[in-house]
């Protein structure tokens, strides 16, 4: 490997780490915003969540789209948004179950 390959590898690793940190941040804040804005919703659609997460991440990471191949960027965002949508749906479901338990304990 020459120095340009090493540099490109370091840049790719830095981009991946940055993406992961942003995803963790958005996962926490996205879930909190959803529960505050819509506490009485009956069921969370994973497909709808996936689209919302994809849109937010795509807008937040638009500056990195030019540094990575556009197809790779979109496919990675789709994969990550799918994973986060599943996690967010589970968290919402568990939060509702905890709220039900608290309500029944208070009575």
User: Comparing 59 with 12, which gets the higher pLDDT?
Assistant: 59
Interval 17-56: pLDDT, tens: 777 777 777 666 665 555 555 555 556 688 888 998 899 8
Total structural domains within the chain: 1
- The Cβ-side half-sphere exposure at 52, using a 13 Å CA radius, reads 18
Domain extent at residue 14: 3-106
Interval 63-73: pLDDT, tens: 888 888 888 88
H helices present in 1-107, as ranges: 3-37, 46-60, 70-106
Percent of the chain with pLDDT over 70: 69
Q: Give the separation between CA 70 and CA 88, rounded to whole angstroms.
A: 26
Question: What pTM value is reported for the model?
Answer: 0.53
Q: Is 100 exposed, middle or buried (0-12, 13-18, 19+ CB in 10 A)?
A: exposed
**Is the confidence at residue 101, as pLDDT, over 60?**
yes
């Amino acid at each position: 490997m020459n120095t340009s390959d090493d540099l490109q590898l370091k840049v790719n690793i830095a981009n991946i780490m940055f993406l992961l940190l942003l995803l963790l941040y958005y996962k926490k804040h996205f879930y909190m915003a959803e529960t505050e804005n819509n506490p009485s919703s009956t069921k969370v659609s994973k497909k709808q969540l996936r689209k919302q997460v994809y849109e937010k991440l795509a807008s937040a990471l638009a500056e990195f789209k030019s540094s990575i191949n556009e197809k790779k960027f979109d496919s990675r965002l789709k994969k990550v948004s799918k994973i986060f949508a599943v996690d967010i749906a589970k968290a919402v479901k568990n939060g509702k179950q905890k709220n039900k338990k608290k309500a029944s304990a208070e009575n």
